[in-house]
Structure 1
Amino acid sequence: MNMMPHDRFLRLDLVLERTGLSRATLYRKIQSGTFPRQVRIAERCCGWRESAVSEWMNSPISYLVDDIPPQA
């Protein structure tokens, strides 16, 4: 049986530390589809999948979220 490693959620402070982005830049990139969206973990708690942040870090210039509708 092929077991996938567990993906954990990263909170905002850790995402900012790992990426070196400012909070404003991070949210601007999310809005434009060039950084992974956060996932709601609980009613007042969001985080990012570690695998998605790692994927972005492997190719930050060419990263695009593929489910963002095009801007008019």
Structure 2
Amino acid sequence: MSHRIIRLPSVIQKTGLSRSSIYLRIAQGDFPKSISLGVRAVGWLEQDIEQWLDERISASKSQENEK
């Protein structure tokens, strides 16, 4: 199984969130944690970000159906 690691600019583009919003959500436990790639480099597993987005979409749709 291959794992694709994406860097912050790609995470921002995929989610539409700002850098500060991403790190705030990580601190709150509501966003996938980053993976250390080096002393000053981090990334995220693309599949973790995709799963997080899918969960947000599902939650949004279920809230719409309850109305």
- TM-score surpassing 0.5? yes
SS in structure 1 of the partner of residue 24 of structure 2? helix
Partner of 1:68: none
> How far 1:14 moved relative to its partner?
0.4
Partner of 1:46: 42
Output the CA distance in 1 between the equivalents of 2:12 and 2:33: 14
**RMSD of the alignment, in Å?**
1.4
Aligned residue identity for 2:50: S
Q: Which contiguous aligned blocks of 4+ residues in structure 1 show a shift greater than 2 angstroms?
A: none
SS in structure 2 of the partner of residue 34 of structure 1? coil
How many residues align structurally?
Answer: 58
Unaligned runs of 5+ in 1: 63-72
Output the CA distance in 1 between the equivalents of 2:18 and 2:41: 20
Partner of 2:64: none
How is 1:1-72 mapped onto 2 (pairs within 5 angstroms)?
4=1, 6-60=2-56
Unaligned runs of 5+ in 2: 60-67
> How far 1:24 moved relative to its partner?
1.3
Aligned residue identity for 1:32: Q
Output the CA distance in 2 between the equivalents of 1:50 and 1:37: 12
